[in-house]
Every structure is written in structure tokens, then in C-alpha cells.
A and B are shown apart, each in its own frame.
Chain A
Amino acid sequence: MTSHEFIIIGGGIVGAAIAEGLARQGKDVGVLDEGDVAIRAARGNLGNVWVQGKGAAYPAYADLTRQAALDWGALAERLQAQTGIDIHFRAPGAVYLCFTDADLENRAATMRQANEKTAIDNPYEMLDHAALARMIPQIGPDVAGGSFSAMDGTANPLYLLRALIQSTQMQGGAYYPDSGVTTIREYADGFEMQTAKGIARARHVVLGAGLGNATLAPQLGMFGGVRPVRGQIMVTERMQPFLPCGTNFIRQTVEGGCGIGESSEEAGFDTGTTIDILAETARRATRAFPHLAHARIVRSWGALRIMTADGVPVYQMKGFGPDGTSKATVVSVHSGVTLAPFHCDALARQIGALALEPDIVKSFSAERFDV
């Protein structure tokens, strides 16, 4: 039987970040992960550390995102120093591409709104076609312009995940692959979980199981309101660098390949792709950068994002046991890459201290969905 003070259910970017943070505090942590074919959001992510426009209607989320983006460089440095893994974090800014003048106007409005009630400002610039072409010469004639924010960055989500899991282990945490959790219940002064490899027990648990939270959290009477939203992604072969910054649906990685994806579909748990959407995504990508017509795609897949009803994270902590001192924390987030610094620092600290801070509770509790 596996037993730890803290058990994190889910070894994706979210679960691993919290585990890493707890392990760094010296807590006794175990991560229960699924096996090799888990629905892993890390694999379905372009790797944008995306700030601009996010939380336009939800200032607290915008601020959380902006602070995380500001902290990203330090996280990348720390993880590299700890594990030797280069996460390929770069912060050259990013452009949100608009194909029509109407899109450009809407975008300008969104960007204005996103800076209205926030504590941290997101400086940005609206670019017309000519200004954009100076920045990225290969931009296509169909692109009307876009918004540029220097706060945005990019990273490799796969290396981030690897570094988080490795750092967790280097600091005494335990990582259990092939140990997906099927059921969880209160047990004595803590929790008991049934995993693919037997029973696990913990004093405190964190539910960072992505879409798995939908079935696990309700077993503790907690928030399970997440659904899969599919995004079809395609990746090209390596090519010479041409894209000096991120964009909203195309990113060139440090290795040279381009990740391309922008669809958003309600497709249940189907991680497949459809030719219509792939073809449309390819068409839009070549409108953005006509030379990409000659770039070769080597893979495509359907990635499942973890979406709450309003697209904003849920952080929820609840006490269990006779005196309520045994804590379960539900973390349901779709932007695990961008928010990684928050998850492995501030959030992990609050979970380690067994209490979420009031402003987190106020802005991100599940109660906002109760009507």
C-alpha cells in the first residue's frame, strides 16, 4: 500500500507542479499518475505562456495569469538548475493574428477591456499589416494586423512536465506511473484511493487529474464541472527559424518545428482528428504565413482541454475528518503551462499550509457556479 501525507492525483503539468512545490517545502508527497496513454493536456498544448486578452471579463484571472507570466523566467531557471533540463522558455512576446479589419477592431476592444480592472497592466500594441510585416516578414497579405504583447512567452510543455516530475523526485517526492485513481473516499483521518496498482492512503489529497476530476471530485462532494474541449493540433518537421515570437495559433519551437492549432470542439473524449478541421487549420495557417504551404506536417492529434463552464480556473479546498483538518483540494485549470509558476509556488504553499488565501477563495472557488 502507498501512503503519504499528501497525495496528488494526476501527474500532468498541473499535478506535477503542485507536487514539485510541496516536495520543495519538504512535505511527504506522492503523485499518482496514469499510464502511457493518459489524456495528457501537456501533449496537446502549443506551449504558449499566453497573457494577452486572457481574463478580459475576469480581472482576477487576468492578474493571476500576468503574475505567472512574470514569474516564468525564474521558474525555468530554477528547474534547469535543479534538473539540468532546458524547458526552452523564451519571452519574445506574441501576436494575436486578425484576418479582417472587423477582427482587428474587436481585438482592440478586448485588449482595452482586459486592462480595465486589473492590478497588473499588460502593455500591448495594436499592429496594422505593415507594422506586423516589419516584425514577421513572412506574414501573408490576408492578415489585417494583430495585437502584440511583450509579456507573452513560449515554453516546451513536454520538457516542463519532465522537469517537474524529475524535480519532485529529486526533492524526495514519489512518482507512481500506471496508478490511475478510480475511486476516492474518506478514510480514518484522511483519504483512501483505489488505483490501478492497489490502495493508496493520504492525510491530504490534491485532485489535479484534469478531466479525471469530473468523476473523482464529486466522490468527495466537490466540484467536478469540467468537460473536454477538443483542439486539433498539427506539427511540422523542423525548419529554419522564421517566427521570432509566438502567435495565437502557430508557434515555432526551439527545435524548429511549428505547432499549429486553433479548433475548439465539443467531441467528448475522442482524441482523434477530422480531415475537415485539419484541412481548414492548414488553410488558415497558410493564409497567415503563405510559405508554410510547403512545410510538411508530421503529426496531428486531438488534444482535450479541461474546461470549466466559464473557462476560468477552479481552486477549491474542503476539510474532512472528525475535525475537518484533513484537506482535499480540487484544481481544475486549462492553462497549466502559463500558470505553472503559480501552481508550484503560491498555490503549493497554500496547500502545504492547508488553507487557500482569501483572494483565491473569493475569485476562484466553485461557488460562483451555484445559482
Chain B
Amino acid sequence: MFEQLKTATPLETVNVTLDGVAITLPKGMTLAAALLVHGAYPLRTSPVQGPDGPKQRAPYCMMGVCFECLVEIDGKPNQQSCLAQVRDGMVVNRQDGAPDIKGDRT
């Protein structure tokens, strides 16, 4: 379980949509850390099936190296949530397997 330091000054929160549900997360926090604190992990299942089914994955390195923390952000799949910051109105989806790349979304 992850939590924010009790001694830290509370951060302003903003509205984020996670898997279609409205939640609030601390503004400016690393998205991966915010999702961990929110309890919203695992973040995805691996696109590669193991012998005993899909593999749940969650952030591992928090420094942009391991690519385990991939989520869909504002329609763009496979974004490293450890390199993204929580923004107001962000739409985040956890991923199940390989992403379905869709047409123009801009």
C-alpha cells in the first residue's frame, strides 16, 4: 500500500477520469505515484500471455526505464505514467493486453 507522507503539505487535487470513473488526484504529482496512492494498480496486463494466463503489471522503476507503468492517457496508449504529471481533466485508462490503435484522435 502506498500513501502520501502525513507530514507533507496537502496538494491541490484535480479531476481525473480513470477507467471511466471520475476521481480526484493530487495535481502535479507523477501520475504513476498518484495511481499507486489511489490504490489503482496493477496498471495493465502484459500483451504477452504467460503459461498461466495474462500477467498483471504495475510500476517498477519509476524512472522511465522499465516501461511497466504504461497506461492510456487522453486516448494515447502505452504512455509511461512515471514520466507524466497529473493534470486537470486527464483521461486515464488502464490497459488490457496490446492496445487497439485507433484512428485520428486529435
Write the residues of chain A forming the contact surface with B, with a CB cutoff of 8 angstroms.
138, 237-240, 242, 256, 290-296
The CA-CA distance from A273 to B64 in the complex, in Å, is: 25
B51–chain A nearest beta-carbon distance, Å:
15
B69–chain A nearest beta-carbon distance, Å:
15
The CA-CA distance from A291 to B100 in the complex, in Å, is: 10
B97: chain A residues at CB < 8 Å are 240
B50–chain A nearest beta-carbon distance, Å:
15
A291 near B98: Cβ-Cβ < 8 Å? no
Residues 48-66 of chain B: 1 if any A CB is under 8 Å from the residue's CB, otherwise 0? 1000000000000000000
Size of the B side of the interface (Cβ < 8 Å), in residues, is 14
B104 near A240: Cβ-Cβ < 8 Å? no
A293: chain B residues at CB < 8 Å are 104
A239 near B104: Cβ-Cβ < 8 Å? no
The CA-CA distance from A256 to B76 in the complex, in Å, is: 17
> What total count of A-B pairs have CB within 8 Å?
34
A294 near B47: Cβ-Cβ < 8 Å? no
Contact among B76, B99, B103, B105 for A239, CB-based, below 8 A:
B99
Among B97, B98, B101, chain A packs the most CB atoms within 10 A around the CB of B101
A291: chain B residues at CB < 8 Å are 101-104
A238 near B98: Cβ-Cβ < 8 Å? yes
A242: chain B residues at CB < 8 Å are 101
Q: List 11 A-B contacts (CB under 8 A).
A: A138-B103, A237-B98, A237-B99, A238-B47, A239-B100, A240-B99, A240-B101, A256-B47, A256-B98, A291-B102, A294-B105
The CA-CA distance from A293 to B75 in the complex, in Å, is: 13
Q: A240-B98, A291-B104 given; name 5 further pairs at CB < 8 Å.
A: A238-B98, A239-B98, A240-B101, A294-B76, A295-B101
- Which 6 pairs between the two chains have the least Cβ-Cβ distance? A240-B100, A238-B98, A291-B103, A238-B47, A239-B101, A256-B98
Closest Cβ neighbor of A242 among chain B residues: B101
B7–chain A nearest beta-carbon distance, Å:
39
A294: chain B residues at CB < 8 Å are 76-77, 101-102, 105
The CA-CA distance from A108 to B77 in the complex, in Å, is: 39
Closest Cβ neighbor of B75 among chain A residues: A294
A238: chain B residues at CB < 8 Å are 47-48, 98
